[in-house]
Structure 1
Amino acid sequence: MSKTPTKIPVSPIASEEEREQALRDYKVTIEYKHLKSHAPGGVYLIPSMDNLRHFFGIIFVRRGPFTNGIFKFSLKLPPKYNDTDMWPQIVFSSRVFNPYVNEMTGELDIKSAYPTWDPSRHYLVTVLTYLKKIFYSKNFTDARANPVAKELAETNPEEYRKKVEECVRESQKNIYVNEEGSTAQFTEEQVSHRVLRDLLKHHIRSENQVTKQAVLTQIEKARNV
């Protein structure tokens, strides 16, 4: 006679932890969706392929001493993000000479701006807005990450600007050097891409001319170049 399999008891504590973690995961997806229309200008964030809490980002700096810089970074969230004092972590893969960025590790000092991380007031958009702000800031009173950069900015602005311009040029030079596994990839433009762009401009001059067949025709012409 067969016996009914003994049920393994499920710990109510573990079950509660699973529900709480599922809620945290859901909140992360909501925050990311919010970024589509509220991300600060020039800042882009793309999720990794295999981790809900790992993102790759880029900031294009449009004015100020870092003008034309293209700086890449990764953003990681701790497992219990959405709890108090669970700060996001941002690390630049591009070299950034800035009082708020540790030059050795590339990590952005978030805690100097947010000594307490309050999930009811602080979100992904909060930290990305702060990331953008450090490239335009003129006052580094609370900066601690790079004392050398801070001292130069305060005592020798001309030398500080030279160092900044160096890392801007380096960011442009390394634009096609992609971090392994990054979903934010830059690829060099191929000849066929330029030809296709010119063909589209020449043959499709108005919205009324945009059809699937018209575009496919120009793509085929570009392939034969």
Structure 2
Amino acid sequence: MSATKRTPTKLPISPIASEEEREQALRDYKVTIEYKHLKSHAPGGVYLIPSMDSLREFYGIIFVRRGPFTNGIFKFKLTLPPKYNDVNMWPYIVFASHVYNPYVHEETGELDVQGAYPTWDPSRHYLVTVLTYLKKIFYSKNFTDAKANLDAKQLAENDLQSYKQKVEECVHESQKNVYVNDENSTAIFTEEEVAHRVLRDLLKHHIKNENQVTKQAVLTQIDKASKV
């Protein structure tokens, strides 16, 4: 009897596990398609940047341009469950900034996504859907359906002036903490250096017409700014 070389025995791949892997790969692909869609369809003033560690984690910022929250800069984290793209697999959004709003839980900072979408239907609801809702809460004037922060809701309905004062406080806090960054965040704010301010002012002063903006013109102003 001749000797034969024995190869390591491979564990059989479960057909169920294989199917699950294919389904998860499809979910992941859909997430990338949705994010790509955001590049041209994200609501104005809302920015979302993927995490460096996970396909299902994003860091975002909303710049509020009008209404009671005007000039607020609110940071948030958006997390997708592993089975996102299935029914009732809601995105999870938590504000890192303090947001005094009837639609945001006071203690946790969580946006009440399920209150807005009791059923999450992946054929109709996407990342752009929840980001549009996120923006809407900063401009809303009617809080009838709000459940997350009942104290804020009652104050807005019964003492609008006091509500606006609390809103202004959280806006000022968001501006004060704009350079305080989560250590894992990909949405980083850095303070402007003196040279940057000088360069900006030089460009405004010397380049009046956008048609005059050339590489050489900008380099000339950079050289001036570097000597300050």
SS in 1 for 2:31: helix
Find the counterpart in structure 2 of residue 177 from structure 1. Answer: 180
* Within-5 A mapping of 1:48-197: 48-197=51-200
Identity %: 78
Distance 1:201 1:137 in 2: 37
Query: 1:25 and 1:188, CA in 2 relative to 1: closer, same or farther beyond 3 A?
Result: same
For 2:110, the aligned partner's letter is E
In 1, Cα distance between equivalents of 2:211 and 2:55 = 38
Aligned residue identity for 2:165: K
Q: Distance in 2 between matches of 1:19 and 1:118?
A: 21
* 2:29 maps to 1:30: no
Q: 2-side partners of 1:144 and 1:65: how far apart? A: 20
SS in 2 for 1:46: strand
Structure 1: gaps of 5 or more residues: none
- Give 1:59's aligned amino acid: I
Q: How many residues align?
A: 224
**Letter in structure 2 aligned against 1:87:** W
Aligned pair in 2 of structure 1 residues 180, 209: CA closer, same or farther (>3 Å)?
A: closer
TM-score of the two chains, using structure 1 as the length reference: 0.94
CA deviations over 1:39-64 (Å, ceiling 9, x no partner)? 11111111111111100111111111
Per the alignment, in what secondary structure is the counterpart of residue 91 of structure 1?
A: strand
In the alignment, the residues of structure 2 paired with residue 209 and residue 147 of structure 1 have an alpha-carbon distance, to the nearest angstrom, of 52
CA separation in 2, counterparts of 1:118 and 1:209? 48
Residues 84 and 218 of structure 1: is their aligned pair in 2 closer, same or farther, counting only changes over 3 Å? same
